[in-house]
Amino acid sequence: MRVDHEIEGDVIVLTVNAPRIDAAGAVGFKDAVRAATADHPGRVVLDVTQVEFLDSSGLGALVGVMKLIPGRKLELAGAGPIMRKVLALTKMDKVFVLHVDRHAALEPRDAA
Amino acid sequence: MTLGGRVLFRDRFAGTEAGVSGALSRAQADLGASPLGVERRDNLVIVLGEVLNNSVEHGMADRTDGWIEMIIRMNPADRAEVAIADDGRPLPLHLLQGAQAPDVTVDADAMPEGGFGWFIIHTLVDDMTYERADGRNHLTFSI
């Protein structure tokens, strides 16, 4: 899975270029994020605007990614309706930080 | 379940992660053009992902020659009725009775990375029937 990254100040923004984070793609997703965040000490924002589908395996991969960035919360920008629903059902919307979009994630003190 | 009504989607695909991923993409596209409401459609796609991936990961864990067949119909009450058959191992019956949500009020390093699937299914599905017949699993539910 292709995950692009950009550094904005102390924030790394990772763009997930895939319509699905699911059982078939979970391992590739986690590996791509691990490679991109390895030497980054600051906030980690995943721009998931293109992601139309998340299943429980993909959710597990997001938890795995959070464990790669100890002491920080994983931040998600632009989650669509299916991802928001899966996060809400499992109460993981209280564990990750959700932003309406990438722009909001980069605003100071945003926590949409 | 009556299993009457208009067919919204019908597919037969390999019982592999890639097979399921492809079928779900096609279902998501086809259901987008159906008269199902948006919320029902989203719930349906979420549940299908969990059910089908469970079949592959647990029912067909040691093989790649399995298959899955799925039919989705819309009943007169505008609900989606789903029938799924696969030739994997029998489904453990306790999974049909309900599932607890994993505890996510724990420290990050103890956060669960699995165990969400059947909780999600039972939260979104109202009725579910299961039968093992002719060496196949037959699961039906409506949303």
Q: Cα torsion at B67, B82, B58, A65 (round to 10°)? A: 110
pLDDT in tens, chain A (112 residues): 889 999 999 999 999 999 999 988 999 999 999 999 998 999 999 999 999 999 999 999 999 999 999 999 999 999 999 999 999 999 999 999 999 999 999 987 645 4
Residue spans of the domains in chain A: they are 3-106
Q: Is B118 helix (H, G, I), strand (E, B) or coil?
A: helix
CATH code assigned at B78? 3.30.565.10
Q: Which CATH number fits domain A3-106: 3.30.70.20, 3.40.50.150, 3.40.50.2300, 3.30.750.24?
A: 3.30.750.24
Whether residue B100 lies inside any domain: the answer is yes
ipTM of the complex: 0.89
With cut-offs at 50, 70 and 90, classify the pLDDT of residue B5: confident
Report the alpha-carbon distance of residue B84 to residue A32 in Å, rounded: 33
Give which of B38, B42, B48 to mutate to test A binding, by max A Cβ within 10 Å.
Answer: B42
- From the list B9, B4, B39, the residue with the least C-alpha distance to B25 is B9
Number of domains in chain B: 1
Residue A92: DSSP 8-state: G
| Tokens matching residue B46 | 């979420």
Asked whether residue B1 is assigned to any structural domain, the reply reads: no
Q: Which pLDDT value is given to residue B32?
A: 87
Contacts of B46 in chain A (CB under 8 A): 55, 82, 85-86
Instruction: Find the domain containing B52 and state its range.
Output: 6-142
Contact assignment for B21 to A23 by CB distance below 8 Å: yes
Residue B2's pLDDT band (boundaries 50, 70, 90)? low
Distance from the Cα of residue B32 to its chain's centroid: 17
* Residue A25 CA neighbour count, 13 Å, CB half: 23
C-beta atoms surrounding A62 within 10 Å:
26
CA nearest B138: which of B51, B64, B53, B17?
B51
Of A53, A66, A94, which is closest to B49 when you measure between CB atoms? Answer: A53
Segment B95-110, tens digit of pLDDT? 988 888 999 999 999 9
